[in-house]
């Protein structure tokens, strides 16, 4: 129960501590040339790049979690295609050797004094700062959660504590409504809430239970997917597989003891619908890190306020951001982090060389590239790739809006390898990382 109640706080991102890293927050040296906040994908990738740029002794990473997770695989864990254990490695094993690991939580950032205070009261000063704090899951904003996860038939692929509950609910499904939600907030990997719907449909067909199921996808959005080219293909899949999609429906309450989910109609304030379920997958509301929100680095909503082209903070030139914590107007995905990492590396390099960031060429600017491999079955994926303007920015000389086995194997087999051995070591990424991968493969 205690672990589930913790779902209302920041989720673990990153178990044993390697002798190559100092995990204690108490150290004689409390000043670093480059301080990285967060040990998720963006934080580890950039700390590896900064180690090469300025030396390991000049870089420190603040991260409280002892485990680091490759979260994109949780979609497959929830559908029984991968194990939860396969998604995690110790933070010590992914932290660049020689880089100082401060195993604490960021409590306060003071960019005017160039200092960061951790939850144990330690103050660390810096010359340059990279903020990679991710976002926060807010299960507690749905009435009845997170305590509702103590009941069966309910799960969520967005947390290591609840992803296996999704698989249990799917396996034990007998018949009735299988309900999938999308919240009325920004989310990371916006395709994930419907990926588990397609996989659940495939599993129920494989096990002969599909005729007894009514599959319902209730989304707060006015569209199925934000990019029309891929949305058109997804609507065809929805029709072919007899999936019910209800737009502008937001989950506000779970009555787990009664197996009821309550949705509000966002177009008709005050109107609610109670849906009985035999299986419920919850995508929680999400928001900015509390260490950023309300502070001097935040925009009016609470996200890290960075330049969309360079990832440099708009008001503090020695502060930079990457990943889910930023207010970049693009989808929050691992592929976006991969693309951003090379751009940010270039931005910081120019800053160190010239004292300013003169990123005038298009190759030095981030175009908003992101990717969402939309898993539509246990062997097919639609690979959505697009930019700031919502325009497809595709890698392969084929129609990527079509379901393909090749793309499934790329997501399931190739991408985890590139993540652990490429991105986290600062060796892979750049504008359109899949395009770069294809180019390297053709050499």
Contact indicator for 180, 194 with CB cutoff of 8 Å:
yes
Domains 31-135+288-439 and 139-286 share a fold: yes
How far, in Å, CA of 88 to CA of 70, rounded?
6
Q: What is the mean pLDDT of residues 110-133?
A: 97
Domain ranges of the chain: 31-135+288-439, 139-286
The share of the chain scoring above pLDDT 90, in percent, equals 87
Catalytic residue among 325, 357, 359, 372: 372
334: left (phi over 0), alpha (psi -120 to 50) or beta: alpha
Nearest Cα neighbor of 228 from 435, 384, 432 is 384
On the question of a cis peptide bond just before residue 438, with omega within 30 degrees of 0, the verdict is no
Which fold is adopted by the domain 31-135+288-439?
FAD/NAD(P)-binding domain (3.50.50)
Query: 357 an active-site residue?
Result: no
372 among known catalytic residues: yes
Which segment of 13-17, 287-291, 436-440 scores lowest on mean pLDDT? 13-17
Q: Choosing from 189, 325, 357, 359, which is the catalytic residue? A: 189
Handedness of CA 291, 297, 301, 305 (dihedral sign): negative
pTM of the model: 0.91
Higher pLDDT, 436 or 185: 185
Residue 240, C-beta contacts closer than 8 angstroms, at least 6 positions apart: none
Q: pLDDT confidence of 117, banded at 50, 70, 90?
A: very high
Per-residue pLDDT band at 354 (split at 50, 70, 90): confident
Confidence at 441, pLDDT banded by 50, 70, 90: very low
Is the dihedral angle over the CA atoms 233, 236, 241, 244 positive or is it negative? positive
CATH number assigned to the domain covering 139-286: 3.50.50.60
Most confident of 271-280, 360-369, 426-435: 271-280
Check whether 27 has a pLDDT greater than 70. Answer: no
Average pLDDT, the chain: 91
| Predicted confidence (pLDDT) at residue 166 exceeds the cutoff of 50 | yes
Query: Model confidence at 428, in pLDDT bands (50, 70, 90)?
Result: confident
Q: Look at residue 335 in the predicted model and tell me its pLDDT.
A: 93
Q: How confident is the model at residue 9 (pLDDT cuts 50, 70, 90)?
A: very low
In this predicted structure, the answer to whether residue 362 has a pLDDT above a threshold of 70 is no
Confidence of residue 10 (pLDDT cuts 50, 70, 90): very low
Q: What percent of the chain has pLDDT over 70?
A: 88
The pLDDT of 267-293, averaged and rounded, is 97
Q: What is the mean pLDDT of residues 186-206?
A: 97
47-54: average pLDDT: 98
- pLDDT for the residue 243: 98
| pLDDT tens column, 334-347 | 999 999 999 999 99
- The predicted pLDDT at position 364 comes to 80
């Amino acid at each position: 129960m205690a672990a589930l109640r913790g779902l209302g706080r920041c989720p673990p991102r990153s178990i044993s501590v390697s002798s190559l890293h100092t995990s204690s927050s108490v150290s004689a040296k409390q000043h670093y040339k480059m301080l990285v906040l967060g040990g998720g994908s963006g934080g580890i990738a950039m700390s590896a790049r900064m180690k090469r740029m300025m030396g390991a002794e000049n870089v420190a990473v603040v991260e409280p979690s002892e485990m680091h997770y490759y979260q994109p695989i949780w979609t497959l864990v929830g559908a029984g295609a991968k194990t939860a254990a396969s998604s995690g490695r110790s933070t010590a094993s992914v932290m660049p050797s020689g880089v100082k690991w401060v195993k604490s939580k960021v409590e306060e950032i003071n960019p005017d004094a160039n200092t960061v205070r951790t939850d144990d009261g330690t103050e660390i000063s810096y010359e340059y700062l990279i903020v990679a704090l991710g976002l926060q899951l807010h299960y507690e904003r749905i009435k009845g959660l997170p305590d509702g996860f103590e009941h069966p038939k309910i799960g969520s692929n967005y947390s290591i504590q609840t992803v296996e509950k999704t698989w249990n609910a799917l396996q034990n499904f007998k018949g009735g409504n299988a309900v999938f939600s999308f919240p009325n907030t920004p989310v990371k990997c916006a395709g994930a809430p419907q990926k588990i719907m397609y996989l659940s449909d495939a599993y129920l067909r494989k096990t002969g239970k599909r005729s007894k199921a009514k599959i319902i996808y209730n989304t707060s959005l006015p569209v199925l997917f934000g990019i029309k080219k891929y949305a058109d293909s997804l609507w065809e899949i929805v029709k072919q597989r007899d999936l019910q999609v209800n737009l502008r429906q937001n989950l506000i309450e779970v009555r787990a003891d009664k197996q009821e989910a309550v949705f509000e109609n966002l177009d008709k304030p005050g109107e609610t619908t109670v849906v009985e379920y035999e299986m419920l997958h919850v995508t929680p509301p999400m928001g900015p890190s509390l260490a950023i929100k309300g502070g001097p680095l935040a925009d009016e909503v609470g996200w890290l306020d960075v330049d969309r082209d360079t990832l440099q903070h708009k008001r503090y030139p020695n502060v930079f951001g990457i990943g889910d914590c930023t207010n970049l107007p693009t989808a929050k995905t691992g592929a976006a982090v991969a693309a951003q990492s090379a751009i940010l590396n270039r931005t910081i390099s120019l800053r160190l060389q010239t004292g300013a960031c003169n990123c005038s060429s298009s190759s030095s600017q981030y175009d908003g590239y992101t990717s969402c491999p939309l898993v539509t079955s246990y062997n097919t994926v639609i690979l959505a790739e697009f930019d700031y303007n919502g325009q497809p920015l595709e890698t392969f000389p084929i129609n990527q809006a079509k379901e393909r086995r090749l793309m499934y194997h790329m997501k399931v087999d190739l991408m985890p390898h590139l993540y652990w051995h490429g991105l986290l070591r600062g060796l892979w990424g750049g504008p359109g990382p899949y395009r770069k991968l294809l180019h390297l493969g053709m050499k």
